[in-house]
Structure 1
């Protein structure tokens, strides 16, 4: 394996459907150990994330920075690497591109959740937020679920138009919509991946909707209005990606929801039938080093 892998090489090693399969396998692996991540505040308002994880064969540490206002500098919001080691010998075996892994594993987690929980998967897919995560979720839901139509909403018209063009290049029907709240009535698949600095969605999703909310991953961040989250808790199913969301799921915490009482994705993987019910599904994703470990395991095999 080339060391380090370029962003393109990293992406090639992590096909979305195969990565979703690997994530599901990892959630069934009792040998996986994931300590709490360290988040160090930076002087400029950003954060440094240190995220280790290991199983019997592979150990990783993810080192990335998150700078919310980097778009104004012409720089990506997330930068860094995933360092991969042999857990037995301690030898470094790979260095993966951090932003690429983050984008693809986050979308693959949403894909897995949609496979297990979405009431319907035919779309249209509404993507709110046309950045890196918007693009990766578009690709994951197209390749993994067969989505053929996408609607894109974003504060920036240029970024929305660029994502629409990318979707059309993949052979999808695609359009830029200005009012994300109005679009919710037409789209049974929804991905919110904004910068989560303020509420972006105030309308209720459809009763047959699957929502993957990925933008807010700290208690202070938020994408969905609190009253919508409370309605979802009463009318449908709320699931979090891991128990780390108990203290990180900003949308749900700000709505006063008892997050520790919600099912996590591992619970759904172990018993999908027990978590299927009528009504909308809201999947809250906050991130976890285990997803990066799954990406490293897949990359090493490929």
Structure 2
């Protein structure tokens, strides 16, 4: 079995091809040809936790293993560490190992794009990015590469981190700048992306009527990046209804009408006369799609 390091994993997962791989996985999920087992959580020493996420389709199986140790930061160690193993579903032969952190970052950004496309959105020139961490970097790169975003404004708790990300994107040919507040930028943006761990809403309510809002940071019921009044104005799309019902605090706190929420696999696009909210919480099928693409690119 070949194992890809972080740089090799990134090179094997170009964003455009990754978006296409995810759209194809939505179809396999809809047809019942791909499935994932519930995530398994195992407590570890030092208040750590290990997460096991398996999925399979007719040809391949994947297992992502992630460990989280909050105390690692004080020791100069990564808080989150992960790896992904792709297997032949017919015989269990191990085919490829990949860096789990890189795969997760890239497939999450590609998933935001694929979900927005399922909602009927096709692009946007101006983007507001709230956050400046790993996921913010991935989303900035993905939206510039796939949707051609050329005007980017970054807002984060750390102005220095926001400026560092803006500088990174300027080196890629994007007109990028750090902004002290998000309100004015949100009112002009085609796309607003929130990638924070905030428990309180960070997306301003002043949005264009055709805005695309993407929220990926809140992963518990007590967390919300998008205010309830914005959620209620939007046509809402999620990567998985089961996961969103349990983890999407943005939607839970807004008491969203779940009968109107569409999962990516069976979504129908909506008109551009109201905002769209794309909310993702993660699913092992998306790791399977990415791992398959990486394996194909090694052949």
1:118/1:210 contact within 8 Å kept? no
Question: Per-residue deviation at 1:259?
Answer: 3.4
CA deviation map 1:199-247 (0-9, x unaligned): 32342322110011000122222212223323x2xxx311111122121
Which residue is equivalent to 2:116? 114
The one of 188, 202, 222 aligned to 2:190: 188
**Whole-Å separation in 2 of the counterparts to 1:196 and 1:292:** 25
Report the CA distance between 1:14 and its aligned residue. 0.4
- Which residue does 1:146 correspond to in 2? 148
Q: Tell me, in whole angstroms, the C-alpha distance in 1 between the residues paired with 2:252 and 2:206.
A: 18
Cα shift readout 1:45-72 (whole Å, capped 9, x = no counterpart): 6643211000111111111134568666
Would you say the 8 A contact 1:61–1:83 is kept in 2? yes
Name the stretch that deviates more: 46-55 or 26-35.
Answer: 46-55
CA contact (8 A) 2:236 2:260 kept: no
Q: Under a length normalisation based on structure 1, what TM-score does the superposition of the two structures give?
A: 0.89
Structure 2 distance, partners of 1:220, 1:75, is 28
Is the aligned partner of 1:18 residue 2:17? yes
CA contact (8 A) 2:186 2:204 kept: no
**2:253 matched residue in structure 1:** 254
Distance 1:44 1:199, change over 3 A: farther
Indicate the RMSD between aligned Cα atoms, in angstroms: 2.2
User: Which residue of 83, 86, 90 corresponds with 2:85?
Assistant: 83
Counterpart mapping for 1:53-132 below 5 A? 53-66=55-68, 74-117=76-119, 119=121, 121-132=123-134
Aligned counterparts of 1:199 and 1:70: Cα–Cα separation in 2: 28
Equivalent in 194, 216, 220 of residue 218 of structure 1: 220
> For the residues of structure 2 that align with 1:70 and 1:176, how far apart are their CA atoms?
29
Answer yes or no: is the 8 Å Cα contact 1:120–1:209 preserved in 2: no
Which residue number corresponds to residue 3 of structure 1?
Answer: 2
> Is the alpha carbon distance of 1:276 and 1:174 closer, same or farther for their aligned partners in structure 2, counting shifts above 3 Å?
same
Counterpart Cα distance in 1 of 2:74 and 2:189: 31
**Number of residue pairs aligned between Structure 1 and Structure 2:** 293
Do the aligned partners of residues 237 and 11 (structure 1) sit closer, same or farther apart at CA in structure 2, a change above 3 Å counting? same
Give the distance between the partners of 2:252 and 2:263, measured in 1 at CA. Answer: 15
Match of 1:280 in 2: 275
Between the aligned partners of 2:230 and 2:46, the Cα distance in structure 1 is: 33
| Distance in 1 (alpha carbons) for counterparts of 2:53 and 2:128 | 31
TM-score normalised according to structure 2 size: 0.90
Instruction: Tell me how far apart the structure 2 counterparts of residues 71 and 209 of structure 1 sit (CA, whole Å).
Output: 37
Aligned residue for 2:135, secondary structure, equals helix
State the distance in 2 between where 1:10 and 1:97 align.
6
Gaps of 5+ in 2: none
- Following superposition, the deviation at residue 133 of structure 1 comes to 0.4
Shift of 1:9: 0.4
In structure 2, relative to structure 1, the CA distance for the partners of 1:298 and 1:222 (3 Å cut) is same
